Structure formats: structure tokens, C-alpha cells
């Protein structure tokens, strides 16, 4: 029902007892997410919680490097693969620390696009064969930091993103007397499909066109620094769904790389940027939320095209860098939250007949109820909307009473609900009637903030798999859309992954006295650091879990989410000053006999506890 076997990539499954199981070692020993939640609750950690699985991160890095190693052996490629992790995908300290640890055996490096990311990366760079790729706009301090890292033995590479950066790199390297490793970002003519395809193509905002690349070569030759030019970089998108775009980009880049070697640059590194997609919906198709290739096919396509293109030109094979961030960290995190409340779409029973003095529009609506059947359902649908709109207008002009308005609403939704049921009997359902199930869906209110934890859902209509983590031995009986606790009209999720398609509603179970938990999967990329403070709802609690191959569960790290005082301080409040102001108001209320001194104590205890409390709903 939820397509878990399609998008789970072997990391997630459903047990016979109806609970979602996480297999951090991919198809190996697993543990129930519900069991993990129970352990967190027992330890005092409230929902919502972001779960991180260190073993999944380790598995993703291992799979990426082993797939490239397999392709390199198959096509007799002479260079090495050196992955780098783009820090912007998830800058959390724990993420970088674990990538550095798990990637050490593969000489996995980092890509930094700012001074803060550069400093963070340097603190984790332990292997002299790993690369630190410096992208983004660079000022003198950025360049100095990268050069000093180079002096310490780190393979920091400056990628020239705009023509003006080259002069700064030349100037600072001579001032510090440190020879840089220089790369150049190329604007390819190849433009892939997908959400972020505008980062590639000739009109992309970053990189140099071929003419500017030639100018860069001439300037380096003039400065007697052409031997510093060692890397060619390009980027055609963050989530490339079609393998054809990857193949075409590699071939074009190899042609430019060949040209730079012929110009006299030593080269030796080809950085293919990001693009390895995540199959969020499990369709394995050429869509913005999927991909039509697997990891082995991706690696083989790159290596095969590089071998054929470079061998033809008799060019030595360079080291290959990919900046695969999304594919590494997406599976790493799962957002868990509980359902707080519901809004059911329930229709009241209609009276058998209206009074003799009933408004004629109400009489007309009741006539639609009487004649409605499958063959005239679309006509009745139009009539119902017409009469309802007329009633709304008359109510606004004061010619209908509140009770008449309420009765009209009951009759209208009764008609729409019956039409929705009749569509199941139709051979062909008109487009406008296909939308009825989502119009009639119940609303479940989840204990989370869309804007804090799932900003891509709001910003770019990103699709994430969402499903209950328990009670899956029961057939869900409700069709639901999800609302968060921000009370914002945009704070909802109304597009979901199904088994073979996407849907406007999510099948869920009836709520009982027991807590009902949902999981949002594949949220490790971007969501943790793009979130904002809408309604001053802060970071969620975070728990890191490790599952041994024997099934033993370990809670290795817990990070408390933001308190009310934390988020107030983020938006320039002084929490102590806020409390002083409230205390002053309470004391003034005592002075005017509005409250007693004992009341003041209770009030201040409540506000002080509130300052220390979690920003999300607490039972």
C-alpha cells in the first residue's frame, strides 16, 4: 500500500506483526521502529524525533565506493575514484564526523562552499589522499584558509567559479608562497532533466564557458602557474533522473578535459559534481522524484564513457570525483511524529422533507438529492455547486438566515459525498469528479512543523515516503491529508507515495487511545538545515541509533530539541529579559489586587517552566 519495497532500498520493510523494520546493513538484521520509539519515550525523549542511523550512512558510502571499484575493474580504468561529500547537503556536526569516520578507508573527502564549511571540513580531514574541493564565491580569507590547509598537507583544490576569482587565487598564493591546486568549473552545453537542472547548461549561473576557460589557461600560463591547473569540474543537477543526461555530460566534459591537457595543463582530476538521484517514490522512472537507473549502472555509465572518450584521445585516465551528497545521506534520517487530533468529514442525516416555508434554493438542493444517480452525477455536481454559490451570495446580502446557510452546507456535502461514491461505479470518471476523494479527505494533525523539518515539501513540492510505523497488520480505513501544528494553510502534506503511483490522500487507521506514529523517510538530505522557525517551532529532538548485526539495539547519541528560550534567542530576544518583563507585569497585578502573591508565584513558575520546555506539543 505504501510502496515500501520500492523506495526502501533494502533498508526498510514491514514485519508480519505489522511494524516497520529498519535494516541498517541493507537487507540484514533489522529492528522495529516502534521498539525504538518506545525506548526513546521510556528515556524521556518526546515526539517529534529525528532518527539517524549511523549504519545506513556507513552502508551508503560503502556501496558507492564498491560500485565504482567494480566498474573501474570491469572497464580497466587506470585512475582512482575519490568521493567528496558536499557539506551543504547536511552540515550537522555528527553527519560530517561519521562521514569522515566511515569514509576514511576509501579516502572520502569533502566539498565546501563557504568559509564556515571549509573550516569544518579541515577539522575532519585526516587523509592526505582525500580531496577538499573548495567551491562557491571566495574572498581573500577563504583563499588563505584553503592555502594554509594545503600547507598542512590537505589536498585542497580551488575551483574557479567566476573569472574574477583567478586573480585573487594567484595574488594570495604568491603572497603566502604556497602553490595552489586549481580547478575550473565548466558550463556544459548538456542540460539534464530534474528539479535542479538549471545548475547545468550554457545559461547556468555558475562556471566558465569554453572561451573563459581558454582565457584562464592563458592567464595561468602568463603567471607561470599553468602547472597548478589540475582539475576540471562540472555540475548538471542535484537529482538527475535520466541516465542519458549523465552519459552526455561525461562525454562532453572528457572532450574539454582532453583540450586542457593539449593546452599543456597537467590536469589529473575530473570532478563530475553531484547528480546521483534518490528514488523517493520507488517508481524507478525518469521523474523529478525518482531515477531510471541503479547505482551500478550509474558508475558503469561514467567509467565506460570516460574510458572510450579518453582512450580515443590517448589521454591518461584522471582521478574521478563525484559530489554525491543526497544519495549518501537521504536514507540516513527518518522523522517520527505522533498524531494529535483529527478532523473527520462527517455528513449529518438529512431531514426527509423541508418545511412549507423553506427557501426555494434549499428546495432545489433537496431536489438534486432526490434525482441523483450514476448517469446524471456530473450534472448534479454542477447543479449543487450552482445552488450552493447562490446561497452563499444571499447569505452575504442578509437574505438568508444562519440556519438556512448551515442546512445548505449539509445538503451540499451530502450530494458531493454520494457523487464520490458513485464514481466507483462509472466506466469513465470526468476530471472534475476525480478530485472528490481529496476534497472529502479527513485531516490528521501531526506533531511536527513542515517548515522546520520538511521545508522542501512546502518550497518545491518534494515527495517523501510517509507511512504509519505500526498497526500495518490492520487495513487502514481512512483517507487522510496531514496538517502540521503551525496553523498555516501551507502547513499540510497532500501528496503521497503509493505502491505504483502518487496520491492526494494517505490511507491511515482510525485513531484509538493508543498513540499513533507516522514516519517520514529519506529526509537526510537538506531538510535538517533548510528548516526555518515558522511559529518559533525549533529543531526537533534527535536520536542516533546503531543496530548490530546480531540485532542488538544501541542508542548512541541523543540531542535535545530547541527549548522556547532557545528559539526566542534565535530571533533576538533575551529570555531573561522576557521573564523579567512578565514578572514586572505580575507584580503590578498583585499591586492592583488583580491576583495574589501566591498567584504570582504560580504564574511565574508556569512561564519559567514554559521557557525551558520543548517547542512542540507535549502530552
Q: What's the sign of the alpha-carbon dihedral 423, 424, 428, 431?
A: positive
Active site residue 487: yes
Asked if 399 and 256 sit in the same domain, the reply is no
Measure the CA–CA gap between 24 and 546, rounded to whole angstroms.
Answer: 8
pLDDT, average across residues 55-61: 95
Which one of 134, 254, 380, 487 is the catalytic residue? Answer: 487
Residue 354 maps to a domain? no
Q: How confident is the model at residue 347 (pLDDT cuts 50, 70, 90)?
A: confident
Q: Which residue has the cell 573548495?
A: 134
CATH code of the domain in which 509 resides: 2.40.37.10
pLDDT digits (tens, 9 = 90+) for 101-137: 999 999 999 999 999 999 999 999 988 899 999 999 8
Measure the CA–CA gap between 248 and 259, rounded to whole angstroms.
Answer: 17
Asked if 425 and 451 sit in the same domain, the reply is no
The length of the chain in residues reads 619
Residue 248 has pLDDT above 90, yes or no: yes
In this prediction the pTM is 0.90
Asked if 407 and 477 sit in the same domain, the reply is no
**Which residue, among 166, 181, 187, 167, has the nearest Cα to 265 in the 3D structure?**
181
Q: With contact defined as beta carbons under 8 Å apart, do 22 and 33 qualify?
A: yes
Asked if 202 and 299 sit in the same domain, the reply is yes
Residue 82 maps to a domain? yes
Percent residues over pLDDT 70 in the chain = 97
Q: Say if residue 375 is exposed, middle or buried (CB neighbours under 10 Å; 0-12, 13-18, 19+).
A: exposed
Q: With contact defined as beta carbons under 8 Å apart, do 111 and 323 qualify?
A: yes
CATH code of the domain in which 365 resides: 1.20.58.930
Asked if 316 and 365 sit in the same domain, the reply is no
Q: How confident is the model at residue 189 (pLDDT cuts 50, 70, 90)?
A: confident
Number of neighbours of residue 446 by Cβ within 10 angstroms: 27
pLDDT digits (tens, 9 = 90+) for 142-182: 999 999 999 999 999 999 999 999 999 999 999 999 999 99
Q: How confident is the model at residue 346 (pLDDT cuts 50, 70, 90)?
A: confident
Residue 1 has pLDDT above 60, yes or no: yes
Asked if 225 and 364 sit in the same domain, the reply is no
The structural domain count of the chain equals: 4
Residue 64 maps to a domain? no
Give pLDDT, residue 195: 54
Residue 438 has pLDDT above 70, yes or no: yes
Q: Say if residue 183 is exposed, middle or buried (CB neighbours under 10 Å; 0-12, 13-18, 19+).
A: buried
Give pLDDT, residue 203: 52
pLDDT, average across residues 416-428: 89
Asked if 235 and 383 sit in the same domain, the reply is no
The verdict on whether omega for the bond into residue 253 sits within 30 degrees of 0, i.e. cis, is no
CA distances from 16 to 4, 282, 471 (A): 14, 22, 11
pLDDT digits (tens, 9 = 90+) for 375-414: 999 999 999 999 999 999 999 999 999 999 999 999 999 9
Helices 54-74 and 93-103 cross at an angle (nearest 10°) of 40
Of the three residues 389, 409, 437, the one that is the final residue of a domain is 437
399 versus 346: which is more confidently predicted? Answer: 399
pLDDT digits (tens, 9 = 90+) for 293-339: 999 999 999 999 999 999 999 999 999 999 999 999 999 999 999 99
Give pLDDT, residue 345: 76
Measure the CA–CA gap between 159 and 463, rounded to whole angstroms.
Answer: 32
**Which residue, among 327, 239, 246, 324, has the nearest Cα to 287 in the 3D structure?**
239
Cα–Cα–Cα angle for 72, 77, 79, rounded to 5 degrees: 100
Residues spanned by the domain of 162: 77-329
Residue 72 maps to a domain? no
Mean pLDDT rounded to a whole number for the chain: 92
pLDDT digits (tens, 9 = 90+) for 531-585: 877 888 899 999 999 988 877 899 999 999 999 999 999 889 999 999 999 999 9
Q: With contact defined as beta carbons under 8 Å apart, do 113 and 136 qualify?
A: yes
**Which residue, among 361, 539, 347, 584, has the nearest Cα to 442 in the 3D structure?**
347
Asked if 341 and 319 sit in the same domain, the reply is no
Cα–Cα–Cα angle for 115, 120, 121, rounded to 5 degrees: 95
Q: Say if residue 526 is exposed, middle or buried (CB neighbours under 10 Å; 0-12, 13-18, 19+).
A: buried
pLDDT, average across residues 62-86: 97
Asked if 291 and 157 sit in the same domain, the reply is yes
pLDDT digits (tens, 9 = 90+) for 582-612: 999 999 999 999 999 999 999 999 999 999 9
Residue 493 maps to a domain? yes
Asked if 184 and 270 sit in the same domain, the reply is yes
pLDDT, average across residues 190-201: 56
What is the maximal distance between C-alpha atoms in the chain?
Answer: 99
> Residue-wise over 137-158: b if at least 16 C-beta within 10 A, else e?
ebeeebbbbbbebbeeebbbbb
Give pLDDT, residue 489: 85
Instruction: Please give the full DSSP string across 202-267, using - where no structure is assigned.
Output: TT-SSSB-HHHHHHHHHHHHHTT-GGGEEEEE----SEE--HHHHHHHHHHHHHHHHHHHHTT---
Measure the CA–CA gap between 372 and 594, rounded to whole angstroms.
Answer: 61
Q: How confident is the model at residue 42 (pLDDT cuts 50, 70, 90)?
A: very high
Residue 355 maps to a domain? no
Amino acid at each position: 500500500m505504501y510502496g515500501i519495497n520500492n523506495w526502501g532500498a533494502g533498508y526498510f520493510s514491514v514485519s508480519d506483526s505489522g511494524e516497520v523494520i529498519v535494516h541498517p546493513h541493507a537487507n540484514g538484521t533489522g529492528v522495529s521502529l516502534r521498539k525504538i520509539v518506545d525506548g526513546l519515550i521510556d528515556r524521556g525523549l518526546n515526539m517529534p524525533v529525528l532518527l539517524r542511523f549511523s549504519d545506513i550512512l556507513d552502508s551508503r558510502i560503502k556501496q558507492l565506493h564498491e560500485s565504482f571499484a567494480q566498474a573501474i575493474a570491469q572497464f580497466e580504468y587506470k585512475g582512482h575514484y575519490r568521493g567528496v561529500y558536499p557539506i551543504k547537503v547536511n552540515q550537522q556536526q555528527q553527519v560530517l564526523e561519521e562521514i569522515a569516520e566511515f569514509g576514511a578507508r576509501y579516502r572520502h573527502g569533502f566539498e565546501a562552499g563557504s568559509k564556515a564549511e571549509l573550516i569544518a571540513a579541515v577539522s575532519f580531514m585526516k587523509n592526505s589522499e582525500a580531496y577538499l574541493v573548495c567551491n562557491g564565491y571566495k574572498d581573500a580569507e577563504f583563499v588563505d584558509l584553503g592555502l594554509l590547509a594545503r600547507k598542512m598537507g590537505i589536498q585542497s583544490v580551488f575551483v574557479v567559479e567566476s573569472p574574477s576569482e583567478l586573480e585573487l587565487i594567484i595574488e594570495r598564493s604568491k603572497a603566502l608562497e604556497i602553490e595552489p591546486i586549481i580547478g575550473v568549473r565548466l558550463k556544459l552545453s548538456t542540460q539534464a532533466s530534474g528539479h535542479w537542472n538549471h545548475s547545468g547548461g550554457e545559461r547556468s549561473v555558475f562556471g566558465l564557458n569554453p572561451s573563459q576557460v581558454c582565457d584562464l589557461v592563458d592567464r595561468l600560463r602568463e603567471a607561470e602557474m599553468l602547472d597548478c591547473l589540475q582539475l576540471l569540474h562540472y555540475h548538471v543537477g542535484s537529482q538527475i533522473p535520466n541516465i542519458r543526461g549523465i552519459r552526455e555530460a561525461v562525454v562532453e566534459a572528457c572532450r574539454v578535459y582532453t583540450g586542457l591537457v593539449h593546452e599543456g595543463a597537467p590536469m589529473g582530476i575530473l570532478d563530475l559534481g553531484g547528480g546521483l538521484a534518490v528514488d523517493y517514490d520507488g517508481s524507478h522512472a525518469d521523474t523529478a522524484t525518482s531515477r531510471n537507473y541503479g547505482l551500478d549502472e550509474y558508475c558503469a555509465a561514467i567509467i565506460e564513457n570516460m574510458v572510450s572518450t579518453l582512450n580515443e584521445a590517448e589521454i591518461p585516465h584522471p582521478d574521478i570525483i563525484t559530489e554525491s551528497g543526497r544519495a549518501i545521506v537521504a536514507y540516513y534520517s527518518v522523522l517520527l511524529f505522533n498524531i494529535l487530533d483529527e478532523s473527520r468529514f462527517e455528513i449529518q442525516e438529512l431531514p426527509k422533507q423541508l418545511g412549507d416555508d423553506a427557501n426555494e434554493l434549499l428546495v432545489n438542493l433537496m431536489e438534486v438529492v432526490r434525482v441523483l444517480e450514476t448517469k446524471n452525477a456530473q450534472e448534479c455536481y454542477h447543479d449543487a455547486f450552482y445552488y450552493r454559490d447562490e446561497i452563499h451570495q444571499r447569505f452575504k446580502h442578509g437574505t438568508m438566515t444562519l440556519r438556512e446557510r448551515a442546512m445548505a452546507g449539509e445538503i451540499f456535502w451530502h450530494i458531493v459525498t454520494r457523487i464520490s461514491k458513485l464514481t466507483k461505479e462509472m466506466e469513465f470518471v470526468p476530471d472534475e469528479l476525480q478530485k472528490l476523494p481529496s476534497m472529502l479527505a479527513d485531516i490528521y494533525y501531526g506533531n511536527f512543523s513542515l517548515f522546520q523539518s520538511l521545508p522542501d515539501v512546502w518550497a518545491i513540492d518534494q515527495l517523501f515516503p510517509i507511512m504509519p510505523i505500526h498497526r500495518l497488520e490492520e487495513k487502514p480505513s481512512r483517507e487522510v491529508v496531514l496538517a502540521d501544528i503551525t496553523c498555516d494553510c501551507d502547513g499540510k502534506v497532500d501528496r503521497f507515495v503509493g505502491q505504483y503511483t502518487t496520491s492526494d490522500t494517505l490511507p491511515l487507521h482510525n485513531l484509538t487511545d493508543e498513540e499513533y506514529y507516522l514516519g517520514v523517510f529519506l529526509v537526510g538530505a537538506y531538510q535538517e538545515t533548510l528548516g526555518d522557525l515558522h511559529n518559533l517551532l525549533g529543531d526537533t529532538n534527535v536520536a542516533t541509533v546503531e543496530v548490530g548485526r546480531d540485532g542488538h539495539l544501541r542508542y548512541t547519541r541523543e540531542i535535545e530539541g530547541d527549548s522556547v528560550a532557545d528559539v526566542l534567542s534565535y530571533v533576538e530576544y533575551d529570555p531573561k529579559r522576557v521573564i523579567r518583563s512578565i514578572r514586572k507585569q505580575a507584580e503590578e497585578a498583585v499591586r492592583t489586587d488583580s491576583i495574589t502573591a501566591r498567584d504570582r508565584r504560580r504564574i511565574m513558575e508556569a512561564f519559567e517552566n514554559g521557557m525551558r520546555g520543548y517547542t512542540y506539543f507535549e502530552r
